[in-house]
């Protein structure tokens, strides 16, 4: 078993009783039954009426209100099942509830899918009449968004079949992936003895200042992933095949089309983002050359990518992180701190490390009538403090957006990161302002850039890896582990060039990345969000206090407007091909500053 001692976040668990008292709460069954009953009643009341032009705008609004209420009830059940399962994937009762929630959700969706299909069947004139009516103003953006899927929708029976089969298709493989990763215990030799750790605890050792510890962690993680390589490779092959099969039936022109549609962004904008990043990878090479000099190494290896630069303490407790994050939020906006504080005071956070817990971190928006929940795997590093600031940004964003209702509270991924990365920026700015030692400032800036590059360039590289993976699976059929390993190394070599030597062990490190399985082509949204935040933070620096209420209002709108329209209100044009260069120039400036600081500290 993994070592009992984990981190200062031991005992930090969320309280899910705002949903239900436990997985055996009788209200769960009652809510499942109510959701199915209301969905059936909805179908009896509204089937053929929208397609037959029988609904007035007021009646259409009433229908959408009930449609939203049914989905919120389903969302309550699904959120509780998902959150319970995420922190204990080994519990068969939680796994069974999670599966049941997915199955019942599919039943409800299948009863309601006719409504969206009827809306999409209307001619453009009739649709626009509805969208422009005052009664439907609340849902106008959503109604426009639904129409974009029209060319790719199937018949009602086909849509129902797809939804039902996903429970034994993609959703089943997602669960298998989570349980496989949750069961991993990483063997690591430290101080002459072998220890076993959960995966996130082992990965946190890549941020250790002892190079041998990082190397041993790399060996251990690689062995653990390779031991699970057969099943992980099988999962990835089937996730990719599932994605391709659905894409062919729906007639998507590109692997990324469904993600771009969900993100409310066009392919040209995404291509411009990715091209701009890859045109600027030389700054990544410059940064790692600076890091090599600062560390005094002859060569950097992949296990040297994230170790903290010298001059700073890399350790920080959960309580210290909480205090620093709340202070940073308060300096920007007392109301942001007030919301963030609720997460700590009301046990809306689960941060402890434990076997069977899902890896990584997230903030789940859940439903408007409850509140978001945050999951962390806190390992007492500065990186974890930044992750806390990041996820609390999501949490504040989601909390503010609840007023938009269940169907429009969640933003597309393209704007989902603008509060999280902004939260990181607030914490970093505070830390940089408080630091007086030039060497420490250099290290702080370097460590931040390390994170920025992981958020911008690495995420674009991971998206490019996914494109290679999906293309190769289509051309060659089922891929072997070593073939996927080579694709992973190929994509990552484009980022690092000669500045970092990628070891053979690193070839396996695609296999634990949750986004590839849960959310194909998600990763570019991180780069989108980070570069967007650089623009937003620049506006904050220019406008000062005047910017704060505009930013809070931006967050409170959630997903009720398209990103380009939402951001245009504060002077940001994401359709401008040169927009991404502005953010990248800020990062290039930081690298220039690092070079200057290094010369000064060595003078």
Kindly report the three-state secondary structure assignment for every residue of 305-351.
Answer: CCCCCCCCCCECCHHHHHHHHHHHHHHHCHHHHHHHHHHHHCCCEEC
pLDDT (0 to 100) of residue 579: 86
Give backbone dihedrals phi and psi of 21, rounded to 5 degrees, phi first: -80, -15
pLDDT tens figures, 373-396: 999 999 998 889 999 999 999 999
Q: How many domains does the chain have?
A: 1
Three-state DSSP class for residue 253? coil
Q: How many CA atoms, within 13 angstroms, populate the side-chain half-sphere of residue 601?
A: 19
Q: What is the dihedral of CA 447, 453, 459, 460, to 10 degrees?
A: 180
CA–CA separation, 555 and 297 (whole Å): 44
pLDDT (0 to 100) of residue 313: 66
Is the CB of residue 372 less than 8 Å from the CB of residue 366? yes
CB crowding 293-320: b at 16 or more within 10 Å, else e: ebeeeeebbbbbbbbbbebbebebebee
Is 52 contained in some domain? yes
Is the CB of residue 420 less than 8 Å from the CB of residue 390? yes
Is 355 contained in some domain? no
Which residue's entry shows tokens 């582990």?
481
Query: What mean pLDDT comes out for the span 294-323?
Result: 89
Mean pLDDT (the chain, rounded): 94
Please give the structure tokens belonging to residue 543: 């406008």
Cβ-in-10-Å burial (0-12, 13-18, 19+) of 73 comes to buried
Is the CB of residue 422 less than 8 Å from the CB of residue 154? no
Is 210 contained in some domain? no
For residue 198, the cross-strand partners are 185
Task: Give the contacts of 182 (CB within 8 A, at least 6 positions apart).
Answer: 89, 90, 355, 356, 357, 358, 359
In this structure, what DSSP letter does residue 356 have? T
CA–CA separation, 506 and 508 (whole Å): 5
Is the CB of residue 329 less than 8 Å from the CB of residue 336? yes
CA–CA separation, 265 and 575 (whole Å): 9
Query: What mean pLDDT comes out for the span 199-210?
Result: 90
CA–CA separation, 519 and 529 (whole Å): 16
pLDDT tens figures, 327-372: 999 999 999 999 999 999 999 999 999 999 998 899 999 999 999 9
Please give the structure tokens belonging to residue 418: 């603008």
CA–CA separation, 128 and 525 (whole Å): 30
pLDDT tens figures, 207-252: 888 999 999 999 999 999 999 999 999 999 999 999 999 999 999 9
**C-alpha closest to that of 265 among 456, 412, 116, 462:** 412
pLDDT (0 to 100) of residue 381: 87
Comparison of pLDDT for 259 and 189, the residue scoring more: 259
Is 105 contained in some domain? yes
pTM for this prediction: 0.85
pLDDT tens figures, 447-484: 889 989 999 999 999 999 999 999 999 999 999 999 99
Is 189 contained in some domain? no
Is 544 contained in some domain? no
Kind of pairing, strands 362-364 and 349-350? unpaired
Is 505 contained in some domain? no
Q: Identify the H or E element spanning 198.
A: strand 193-198
Is the CB of residue 35 less than 8 Å from the CB of residue 77? yes
**C-alpha closest to that of 139 among 559, 552, 550:** 559
pLDDT (0 to 100) of residue 435: 84
Is the CB of residue 487 less than 8 Å from the CB of residue 465? yes
pLDDT (0 to 100) of residue 1: 35
| pLDDT > 60? residue 144 | yes
For residue 381, the cross-strand partners are 315
Is 35 contained in some domain? yes
pLDDT (0 to 100) of residue 100: 96
Three-state DSSP class for residue 601? helix
pLDDT (0 to 100) of residue 17: 98
C-alpha 247: how far from chain center:
22
| pLDDT > 60? residue 2 | no
Q: Where is average pLDDT lowest: 55-59, 104-108, 130-134, 294-298? A: 294-298
pLDDT (0 to 100) of residue 570: 87
pLDDT (0 to 100) of residue 602: 78
CATH of the domain at 88: 1.20.140.70
pLDDT (0 to 100) of residue 255: 96
pLDDT (0 to 100) of residue 315: 84
Is the CB of residue 420 less than 8 Å from the CB of residue 394? yes
| pLDDT > 80? residue 46 | yes
pLDDT (0 to 100) of residue 369: 96
Task: Give the contacts of 492 (CB within 8 A, at least 6 positions apart).
Answer: 461, 465, 502, 506
The domain in which residue 102 lies consists of 26-168
The number of beta carbons lying within 10 Å of the beta carbon of residue 69 is 16
| pLDDT > 70? residue 3 | no
DSSP conformation letters of 365-410: ---TTS--EEE----SBHHHHHHHHHHHHHHHHHHHHGGG-TTTSS
**Is residue 5 very low, low, confident or very high in pLDDT (cuts 50, 70, 90)?**
low
C-alpha 250: how far from chain center:
25
pLDDT tens figures, 539-570: 898 899 999 999 999 999 999 999 999 999 88
Query: What mean pLDDT comes out for the span 121-133?
Result: 96
Q: How many CA atoms, within 13 angstroms, populate the side-chain half-sphere of residue 470?
A: 21
Query: What mean pLDDT comes out for the span 192-216?
Result: 91
Q: Largest alpha-carbon pair distance within the chain?
A: 80
């Amino acid at each position: 078993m993994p070592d009992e001692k984990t981190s200062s976040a031991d005992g930090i668990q969320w309280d899910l009783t705002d949903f239900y008292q436990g997985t055996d709460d009788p209200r769960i069954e009652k809510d499942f039954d109510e959701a199915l009953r209301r969905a059936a009643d909805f179908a009896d009341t509204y089937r053929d009426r929208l397609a037959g032009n029988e609904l007035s705008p007021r009646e259409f609004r009433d229908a959408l209100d009930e449609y939203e209420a049914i989905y919120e009830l389903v969302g309550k059940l699904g959120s509780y099942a998902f959150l319970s399962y995420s922190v204990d994937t080994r519990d068969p009762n939680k796994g069974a509830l999670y599966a049941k929630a997915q199955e019942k959700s599919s039943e409800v969706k299948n009863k309601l899918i006719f409504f969206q299909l009827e809306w999409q069947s209307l001619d453009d004139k009739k649709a626009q009449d509805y969208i422009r009516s005052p009664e439907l103003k609340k849902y106008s953006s959503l109604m426009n968004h639904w129409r974009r899927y029209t060319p790719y929708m199937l018949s009602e029976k086909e849509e129902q079949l797809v939804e039902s089969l996903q429970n034994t298709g993609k959703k089943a493989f997602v669960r298998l992936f989570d349980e496989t990763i949750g069961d991993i215990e990483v063997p690591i030799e430290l101080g002459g003895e072998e220890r076993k750790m959960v995966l996130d605890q082992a990965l946190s050792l890549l941020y250790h200042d002892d190079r041998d510890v990082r190397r041993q962690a790399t060996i251990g993680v690689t062995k653990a992933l390779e031991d699970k390589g057969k099943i992980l490779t099988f999962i990835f092959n089937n996730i990719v095949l599932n994605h391709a099969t659905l894409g062919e039936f729906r007639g998507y022109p590109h692997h990324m089309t469904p993600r771009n549609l969900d993100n409310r962004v066009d392919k040209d904008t995404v291509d411009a983002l990715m091209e701009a990043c890859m045109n600027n990878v030389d700054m990544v090479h410059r940064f790692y050359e600076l890091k090599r000099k600062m560390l005094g190494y002859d060569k950097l290896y992949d296990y040297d990518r994230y170790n903290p630069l010298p001059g700073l303490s890399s350790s920080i407790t959960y309580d210290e992180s909480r205090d620093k994050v709340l202070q940073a939020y308060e300096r920007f906006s007392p109301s942001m701190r007030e919301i963030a504080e609720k997460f700590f005071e009301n046990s809306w956070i689960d941060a402890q490390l434990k076997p069977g817990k899902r890896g990584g971190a997230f903030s789940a928006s859940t439903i408007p009538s409850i509140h978001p929940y945050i999951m962390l795997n806190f390992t007492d590093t500065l990186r974890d403090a930044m992750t806390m600031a990041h996820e609390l940004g999501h949490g504040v964003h989601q909390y503010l957006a609840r007023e938009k209702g269940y169907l429009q509270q969640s933003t597309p991924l393209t704007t989902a990161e603008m509060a999280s990365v902004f939260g990181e920026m607030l914490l970093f700015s505070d830390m940089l302002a408080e630091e007086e030692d030039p060497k420490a400032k250099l290290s702080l800036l370097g460590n931040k850039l390390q994170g920025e590059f992981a958020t911008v360039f690495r995420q674009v590289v991971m998206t490019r890896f996914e494109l290679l993976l999906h293309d190769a699976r289509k051309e060659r059929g089922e891929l072997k582990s070593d073939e996927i390993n080579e694709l992973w190394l190929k994509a990552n070599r484009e980022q690092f060039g000669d500045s970092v030597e990628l070891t053979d062990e690193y070839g396996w490190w695609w296999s634990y990345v949750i986004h590839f399985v849960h959310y194909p082509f998600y990763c570019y949204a991180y780069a989108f969000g980070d570069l967007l935040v650089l623009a937003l933070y620049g506006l904050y620096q220019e406008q000062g206090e005047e910017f704060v209420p505009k930013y809070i209002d931006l967050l409170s709108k959630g997903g009720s407007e398209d990103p380009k329209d939402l951001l245009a209100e504060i002077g940001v044009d994401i359709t401008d091909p040169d927009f991404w260069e502005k953010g990248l120039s800020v990062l290039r400036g930081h690298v220039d500053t690092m070079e200057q600081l290094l010369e000064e500290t060595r003078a």
